[in-house]
Amino acid sequence: MAHAPVLVNLLDLDAAALAAYVESLGEKPFRARQVLRWIHRRGARDFDAMSDLAKSLRAQLAEHAQIAAPGVLSDVTATDGTRKWLLDVGLGNAIETVFIPETDRGTLCISTQAGCAVNCVFCSTGRQGFNRNLTTAEIIGQLWMVEHSGEPVAARPATEADGSPRVRTVSNVVLMGMGEPLQNYDAVLPALRLMLDDNAYGLSRRRVTVSTSGMVPLMDRLAADCPVALAVSLHASNDALRDTLVPLNRKYPLRELLAACRRYLRTAPRDFITFEYVMLDGINDSDQHAAELVALVADVPCKFNLIPFNPFPQSGFKRSSTERIRTFAQHLADAGIVTTTRRTRGDDIDAACGQLAGDIRDRTRVSERTGRKVIPLTASAH
C-alpha cells in the first residue's frame, strides 16, 4: 500500500535546521535565509509565492514540505482590546494565545503545552492535567498567525513610540500562556531562536520573556543556550507554603531556585529577574508574607509583578482585595523593590490562563460562549 508522503513542516525549523534541510534537498544552505524571510517576515503560506527562489527549489519544497500553523477555533476581542484565540492542536486539545495591545507596545502571550504537569493549585491549566507538549511549529505558529493574519489585530497607532512607521503588530512575546515552557525545552528553544532571528521576527532578547515555575536545571540551560528575559513564578515567601501552591517546589526548593536566579543574571539580557506573585486572599497576602518575601529575595536583583488571582469555577481561592494588594505592593516598594500590579484584562473573555481551553471538551459551550463572536469593541479599529 502506498503511503502518503510525510511533509516537513517548515515552521518546526529554526535557521540552522532549515539550512540543513535545504542542503539535504541538494541546494545551497544559504537559500534557507530567503525561505526563512518568506515564511516569517512575509507570512508566505505556499511556495509559489517565493518568487526569488529557483523554480527547482520551489518545486522540491512543494513536494516535500509545508507551512502549517494550528487552526483557529475561536477568536474573540474583549471590550478593552485584549484579543484571544483558541487554537486547535488536534485530538480535542486546544490552546490559547492572547494579544494585549497597549499604546507603546503589543504583547503576545503564547502557550507551550496543551495542559501542564506542574499542577499549581490555583491554575486552571494545571487543573486540566497534562495532555502533550506543543511542537516548535505550534509554538512559533502562534506568533506567525498573529503577525500575518492579514487584518489589524487591534487598534494600535500607525507609528511606533519613536515616530517611525509601525512595522509589526507584536513587539513583545511572553511565554506565559498554557504550559511550563521549560518542561518542553527542546521545542521551545528553536521557537525562541526564531523570535530573535533577524531573518524571522528580530525581537531583542529583552522583549522575549520565558516564565517558569522554577525548573532549576533548565534555567541554567536556557542561560547558556538562549538567554532571554526571565520571569519566575514565586507565589510564596517560604517553602512550606510554596510546597502547597507550586508542587514543583518540593523538587526545587526556594534556596535552590533563588541561587538559579542569581546564576541566570550573569548572562540575562536584563539585570533583574521578574518575580510573579499571584495574590490569593488569606493565603499568601499578609504583611508578614510581604516582610518574609523582602528578606527572601534580598540578594537577588528583582522586580515584582503582583497578579490578582483570576478566579475560575471550583478553584477554592479568592482574589485578594484591591486594598490588600495595594498595601502588599507598598510593603515591597518601601523595601526598595520595584513592584507593579498586573491590570486584570480581558475579564469578559476569560483571558486568564487556561480558562477557555478547559471548556474544549464541551464544544457546544465553547461555541455558545465564543464561536467567532466579537464582544463590542471600544479599543479596536474593526
Contact 73, 88 (CB under 8 A): yes
Nearest to ligand SF4 by Cβ — which residue? 126
Rg, Å, the chain Cα set: 21
Residue 261, H or E segment: helix 254-264
Residue 61, H or E segment: helix 55-64
* Residue 210: DSSP 8-state: E
Catalytic entry in 27, 96, 138, 147: 96
Residues of the shown chain interacting with ligand SAH in the complex, contacts defined by CB under 6 A: 120, 122-124, 176, 180, 211-213, 233, 276, 278, 307, 309-310, 352-353
- Cα 230 to chain centroid, rounded: 12
Candidates 119, 135, 199, 320: give the one binding ligand SF4 (CB under 6 A).
Answer: 119
For residue 175, give the nearest of 199, 144, 140 by alpha carbon. 140
We find the least distance from the C-beta atom of residue 257 to ligand SF4, in angstroms, to be 13
Candidates 10, 110, 123, 146: give the one binding ligand SF4 (CB under 6 A).
Answer: 123
Q: Percentage helix, strand, coil, to 5, in the chain?
A: 35, 20, 45
Contact 270, 206 (CB under 8 A): yes
Q: What is the DSSP string of 110-175?
A: ---EEE-SS--TT-HHHHT-EEEEPPHHHHHHHHHHHHTSSS--S---SB-TTSSBP--S-SEEEE
- Which CB atom, from 119 or from 355, has the smaller least distance to ligand SF4? 119
> Binding to ligand SF4 by residue 210, rule CB under 6 A?
no
Residue 330 C-beta-side C-alpha neighbours within 13 Å: 8
- Which CB atom, from 128 or from 136, has the smaller least distance to ligand SF4? 128
* Residue 207: DSSP 8-state: G
201 binds, among ligand SF4, ligand SAH, none (CB under 5 to 8 A by kind): none
Is 353 part of the annotated catalytic residue set?
Answer: yes
Candidates 70, 81, 101, 126: give the one binding ligand SF4 (CB under 6 A).
Answer: 126
- From the list 19-27, 38-46, 120-128, 327-335, the region that binds ligand SF4 by CB under 6 A is 120-128
We find the least distance from the C-beta atom of residue 331 to ligand SF4, in angstroms, to be 24
Candidates 118, 187, 195, 200: give the one binding ligand SF4 (CB under 6 A).
Answer: 118
We find the least distance from the C-beta atom of residue 88 to ligand SAH, in angstroms, to be 20
- Which CB atom, from 39 or from 86, has the smaller least distance to ligand SF4? 86
- Which CB atom, from 50 or from 120, has the smaller least distance to ligand SAH? 120
Distance CA 327, CA 343 (A): 16
119 binds, among ligand SAH, ligand SF4, none (CB under 5 to 8 A by kind): ligand SF4
Is 123 part of the annotated catalytic residue set?
Answer: no
We find the least distance from the C-beta atom of residue 47 to ligand SAH, in angstroms, to be 35
Q: Which residues bind ligand SF4 (CB under 6 A)?
A: 116, 118-120, 123, 125-126, 179-180, 213, 233
Query: What residues are annotated to the active site?
Result: 96, 353
